[in-house]
Structure 1
């Protein structure tokens, strides 16, 4: 899914105050991490994921792989933090970062 520049700007603004929900360490994208990111995206729609990986190329590959696995869109990547978005099937106004 492609986002318009206006949507990306809005999501970056909303994501500025968010804290990372999931941390990915050097042992890669395990099944548990994938499930947790998938659950978090379903609940919150817009999340931050922190990557504690030393190599920049490995980190970019992991972000790209994670986005394709959980079918999310990369909104922004700054340093070790990636801001991911995926629209929820039935968003909960109390949990969604977009509806609060």
Structure 2
């Protein structure tokens, strides 16, 4: 579980990122979750855009993606979800201590 201080730090890092995935009308699927999981392993911090035609609420989408990829939701702002997962092999982000 991320602390508020860690989330604030991750949000500042995410400012310069562009969304690399989009969730549309069909919502999430196994291929999407697999791709997001691989991207999190490579980058640790990503943004996912929830398109307007998505049938599910963005909170539900974020919770589902986080659960399927074992990631943490850093923030949901507008239609953008910021996700973090510590990389096993390519650790780049050093989180501030509690």
Q: CA RMSD in A?
A: 1.8
Match in the other structure for 2:24: 25
Cα shift at 1:32: 1.3
TM-score of the superposed pair, with normalisation by structure 1 = 0.85
Report the secondary structure of 1:11's partner residue. helix
Q: Is the Cα contact below 8 Å between 2:21 and 2:47 reproduced in 1?
A: yes
What is the TM-score with the length of structure 2 in the denominator?
A: 0.86
2:46 alignment partner in structure 1: 47
Gaps of 5+ in 2: none
Partner of 1:85: 84
Distance in 2 of aligned mates of 1:56 and 1:29: 10
Give the 3 Å change call, closer, same or farther, for CA 55–24 of structure 1 in structure 2: closer
Secondary structure, aligned partner of 1:20: coil
Structure 1: any 5+ residue segments left out of the alignment?
none
> Could you give the per-residue CA deviations for residues 10-62 of structure 1, whole angstroms, max 9, x where no partner exists?
10000011000111111111111111100100000000000114579622111
